[in-house]
A and B are shown apart, each in its own frame.
Chain A
Amino acid sequence: MTELERQHLAEGERAGQRYAVSLPRLTVLGQAGLSVGQRAGSSLEFRDYRDYQAGDDLRHVDWNAYARSDQLSIKLFREEVTPHADILIDTSRSMALEDSAKPRATRALAAFFAAAASNAGYTACAWKLAADIAPVENGAAPPTLWQKVDLDYRGSPADGFSRGGQRWRPRGLRIFLSDLLWEGDPLLVLRHLTERASATVVVQVLAAADDRPPLGGNLRLVDMETDLVRELHIDEAVLRRYRDNLRRHQDNWHRACKQTGAIFTVVIAEKMLEDWRLDDLVAAEVLKVV
């Protein structure tokens, strides 16, 4: 890692000191974990009743209620969560977009979440998403000690998801940092991402140029990941079409996140680095100011 990249991590780590990751109605319960999730699970904290359905664990039948009402009811308990955050970094080349703050923001945001997780008493581990999913070298240590967070993979992170074999901590918090700019069904990725996770946060990191490309006349557009070229005369109509495509793409992810219970948010790199205000994540109760 270069000194500059390490400075980016340090910058994010400093900003993360003011925040702590959280889950709604965070409770320290049981032996299995220090936090509980919002979904029904196997913790000792009672949450609700529901009617018995075939296959339910008979140990959770409320026999007292059965005695009173002659109906089989199942006691629902809060899910038990692990206080651990897996921070998944999309290391494709698009995250290192030329002449943008995107690579800086990506590394800094990863360090930010690691610091915020630490503030919340979570352990944290950084992962690189490329052709395979591999832990960042020294990724469980403080961010400034991470090694080789290179954003140079010529492909999409979907490649890594499709290979499977993820070793993320069950019932932990998973934070996925990516520009999400690849073609494919988001559900395919999100199913892997949310499987056995207590909460999943998808942060789309975009450069300002990704969000609002300038009106540039004749441009030879070069794809950062594939080096494919497209020559276009950029006028209002083309920009409008681009923005429509981006909005449609974000809507797809948003919808898929809702379906899988993940939280979806977008950050613009340049804007975020100015003040580190992550209001959307605070509003979604993923972060809280400490």
Chain B
Amino acid sequence: MPHFTYPIALGGLIALPLLVGIYLLRNRYRRQAVSSLLLWLDPREARTGGPRIDRLQTPLLFFLELLLLLLVILAAAGPHLPLSQGGRPLVVILDDSFSMLAGEPDSPRAAAVKALEEELRRIGRSSIRFVLAGDKPVLLGEATDSPAAALRTLQEWRCRSASAAISEAVTLASEVGGEVAALLVITDHAPKDAIETGRLQWRAFGQKRDNWAFVNAVRTQRDGTDRCLLEIANLSDRERSTTLTIETDGNMERRSLKLKPNEVHRRTFQLKEGAGLLRAHLDDDELAIDNQVSLLPAPIRKVRVQLSLADSVLRTQAEKALRATRSMELTSDRPALVVTDAAAPPELTGDTWALHLTGGEEKAAYDGPFVLDRAHPLTEGLSLQGVMWAPGTKGELPGSPVVLAGNVALLTDTEDSAGRHLLRLRLRHDISNLLESPSWPVLLANLVQWRGGFLPGLGRSSIRLGEEVILTLTNTSDEVRLIAPDKAERRLNVQEGRVVARGEQVGIYEIRQGDDKYPFAVNALSGEESDLRNADSGTWGDWLDDAALRLDYRSIGWLLVVIALGVAVIHLLLVARLKRSTQP
């Protein structure tokens, strides 16, 4: 499609109907009955053929004038045609969330691929590359100037993420593409904010649909009990029915569900001890990926904790908080974590970590603001809101600060060469309220979870699509391989005795090291992505700015002016000829 720099000039098109009107008025023929046409004929006509029927003949001059006007108006509007080659670089941001697969084979993804094919073939690009907007943005393939190669790259766009970080992907695309690159977002929903004309174009190919989906599925092991929670949502504006089927170890249970609009059905149940894989699925609908869940038994990894606290208050509060985590056991045999208030920090041996609590006589207490290292695993969910923290001493505290009050370190972390951590926390609890605040159990729970993450085996056995599992190995010498649900196999890199595997497909993955097998389940659990009622289609934003005009389009105004001049000359010649022929 041509672009007009000054579209207001197209208002001149009103001159065309005016010209037609003038001709119509001028050439309007009034009926007049005559006795005979004999005398109205030119004698030459009469001799050769007699009277004949003459229909209204719009003169050639009229069409020339019409064409001339049209050409002048179009030229004034500054027309530009897209170039077939060598245009602006293009970075395409592809929504990689699983909602793009809804309604297959007529899915938003299929429609988007078709539209991209047309777009890439319509305008040549000096560079084309793709950014996948999944849970986090990732570059897809290499940059290419060949539409065919770019389309081949699109085959790697599988839409297997539980969310689409489009704004982050746009940021990445902007950095990758440079200043002049055109950015194209391909998704299934409308943009949340208005798109400014210039660089970004947003194209949605979604379609509003009803959907059934598992939005949550959890399997936990507590106190020897295997408990499951399934949440099924009717993501529709009307009441609908489906069938929930649960299979465990060859046992199958079917249950009909009839849910109101937006209703979420929660089903909790216990499994027999030693139960294996649990599979649950719903009736087929528009989006298949969220109609099934697989849950494996949760791994049992209890952190062995040794409490060596002389202070009774500290001991009581620490034990209470640690027991609340339910993922530790108190022991003095080969502890993985030692919590102590000895005068000197303990010597770290084996794979033991330590939390060293110290006090003092200083009376200074801090009620904030506290500075927390949010990147540290201990501060996850920690707020310290309303906490009064008296460190007891103000001296130097070795290690990396995790919590500070001004320039006074309250909690530090020191990691040795073997990867063991020594955490130092100073607290005068008699003039502090940290032990009585919710932050205390949070802090210890984070510590236990962090330490547990370094225990051999899988951290989790069931994850959501796009999440990662960490497997801590006892033997780092053998090769570790990952077998995906589609039986694709690849090698995993071992770093610091651990491997990380990302769940990119729904189903059962397996990590193998020698004869050891570590299966984990991946499920598409995202209420937001499963809700297809927010899907939309359309185009927002326009690439047409000065850069686009310069790089992607060629002005054809001059050509129209030349043609207009030619038409004007022909018009003048015809007028002159007509005048000569009508002169007596």
Residue-wise interface mask of A (213-229) relative to B, using a CB-CB cutoff of 8 A (1 in contact, 0 not): 10011111111111011
Inter-chain contacts of B26 with A (CB < 8 A): 218
Does A68 count as interface, using CB distance less than 8 angstroms?
A: no
A228 contacts B33, C-beta separation under 8 Å: no
Does B54 count as interface, using CB distance less than 8 angstroms?
A: yes
Inter-chain contacts of B56 with A (CB < 8 A): 231
B50 contacts A231, C-beta separation under 8 Å: no
A222 contacts B51, C-beta separation under 8 Å: no
Does A237 count as interface, using CB distance less than 8 angstroms?
A: yes
A228 contacts B52, C-beta separation under 8 Å: yes
Q: B34 is contacted by which of A95, A217, A223, A249 (Cβ under 8 Å)?
A: A223
B39 contacts A249, C-beta separation under 8 Å: yes
A221 contacts B40, C-beta separation under 8 Å: yes
Q: B32 is contacted by which of A102, A179, A221 (Cβ under 8 Å)?
A: A221
Q: A94 is contacted by which of B27, B36, B42 (Cβ under 8 Å)?
A: B36
A223 contacts B29, C-beta separation under 8 Å: no
Q: In whole angstroms, what is the CA distance A277 to B27 when docked?
A: 42
Q: In whole angstroms, what is the CA distance A95 to B33 when docked?
A: 12
| Residues on A facing B (Cβ under 8 Å) | 94-95, 97-99, 102, 179, 181-183, 206-207, 209-210, 213, 216-226, 228-232, 237-238, 241-242, 245-246, 249
Does B55 count as interface, using CB distance less than 8 angstroms?
A: yes
Q: A228 is contacted by which of B27, B31, B32, B51 (Cβ under 8 Å)?
A: B51
Inter-chain contacts of A207 with B (CB < 8 A): 35
B37 contacts A221, C-beta separation under 8 Å: yes
Inter-chain contacts of A221 with B (CB < 8 A): 32-34, 37, 40
Inter-chain contacts of B34 with A (CB < 8 A): 97, 209-210, 213, 221-224
Q: B54 is contacted by which of A98, A217, A231 (Cβ under 8 Å)?
A: A231
CB interface residues, B 168-190, toward A, < 8 Å: none
B29 contacts A241, C-beta separation under 8 Å: no
Asked, given contacts A94-B35, A97-B34, A181-B38, whether A229 binds B27 with beta carbons under 8 Å apart, the answer is no
Does B272 count as interface, using CB distance less than 8 angstroms?
A: no
Inter-chain contacts of A99 with B (CB < 8 A): 33
Inter-chain contacts of B38 with A (CB < 8 A): 181-183, 245, 249
Q: In whole angstroms, what is the CA distance A219 to B55 when docked?
A: 12
| Residues on B facing A (Cβ under 8 Å) | 26-43, 46, 50-57, 582, 584
Inter-chain contacts of A231 with B (CB < 8 A): 29, 54-57
Inter-chain contacts of B30 with A (CB < 8 A): 216-220
The 6 closest A-B pairs by CB, nearest first: A94-B35, A181-B36, A220-B29, A98-B33, A245-B39, A219-B32
Q: Which residue of B lies closest to A220 (CB)?
A: B29
Main SS at interface, chain A:
mixed
Q: What is the minimal beta-carbon distance from A269 to any residue of chain B, in angstroms?
A: 11
Q: In whole angstroms, what is the CA distance A99 to B31 when docked?
A: 12
Q: What 12 new A-B contacts, CB under 8 Å, besides A210-B34, A229-B53, A237-B584?
A: A95-B35, A181-B39, A182-B36, A210-B35, A218-B28, A219-B31, A221-B33, A221-B37, A230-B53, A238-B40, A245-B39, A249-B38
A224 contacts B35, C-beta separation under 8 Å: yes
Q: In whole angstroms, what is the CA distance A15 to B11 when docked?
A: 69
Q: Which residue of A lies closest to B29 (CB)?
A: A220
Main SS at interface, chain B:
loop
27 A–B contacts from the bound complex (CB under 8 Å): A95-B35, A97-B34, A99-B33, A183-B38, A183-B46, A210-B34, A213-B34, A216-B30, A217-B30, A218-B28, A218-B30, A220-B32, A222-B31, A222-B32, A223-B34, A223-B37, A224-B35, A224-B36, A228-B51, A229-B53, A229-B55, A230-B40, A230-B51, A232-B40, A238-B40, A245-B43, A249-B38
Q: Which residue of A lies closest to B37 (CB)?
A: A223
Q: Which residue of A lies closest to B584 (CB)?
A: A237
Q: In whole angstroms, what is the CA distance A179 to B38 when docked?
A: 12
Inter-chain contacts of A229 with B (CB < 8 A): 53-55
Q: In whole angstroms, what is the CA distance A218 to B23 when docked?
A: 12
Interface centre among B34, B35, B41, B42 (most CB of A within 10 A): B35
Asked, given contacts A220-B29, A223-B51, whether A228 binds B37 with beta carbons under 8 Å apart, the answer is yes
Q: Which residue of B lies closest to A243 (CB)?
A: B39
Q: What is the minimal beta-carbon distance from B469 to any residue of chain A, in angstroms?
A: 88
Inter-chain contacts of B36 with A (CB < 8 A): 94, 179, 181-182, 223-225
Q: In whole angstroms, what is the CA distance A229 to B29 when docked?
A: 11
Q: In whole angstroms, what is the CA distance A60 to B583 when docked?
A: 66
Q: What is the minimal beta-carbon distance from A238 to any residue of chain B, in angstroms?
A: 8
Q: What is the minimal beta-carbon distance from A186 to any residue of chain B, in angstroms?
A: 13
Interface centre among B26, B43, B54 (most CB of A within 10 A): B54
Interface centre among B30, B42, B57 (most CB of A within 10 A): B30
Q: What is the minimal beta-carbon distance from A249 to any residue of chain B, in angstroms?
A: 7
Q: In whole angstroms, what is the CA distance A228 to B46 when docked?
A: 14
A218 contacts B35, C-beta separation under 8 Å: no
Q: What is the minimal beta-carbon distance from B36 to any residue of chain A, in angstroms?
A: 4
Inter-chain contacts of B54 with A (CB < 8 A): 229-231
Q: In whole angstroms, what is the CA distance A64 to B38 when docked?
A: 59
Q: B27 is contacted by which of A97, A218, A225, A245 (Cβ under 8 Å)?
A: A218
Inter-chain contacts of A249 with B (CB < 8 A): 38-39
B40 contacts A224, C-beta separation under 8 Å: no
Q: B42 is contacted by which of A97, A213, A241, A246 (Cβ under 8 Å)?
A: A241
Q: In whole angstroms, what is the CA distance A225 to B34 when docked?
A: 9
Q: What is the minimal beta-carbon distance from B61 to any residue of chain A, in angstroms?
A: 14
Q: What is the minimal beta-carbon distance from B517 to any residue of chain A, in angstroms?
A: 95
Inter-chain contacts of A94 with B (CB < 8 A): 35-36
Q: In whole angstroms, what is the CA distance A287 to B46 when docked?
A: 37
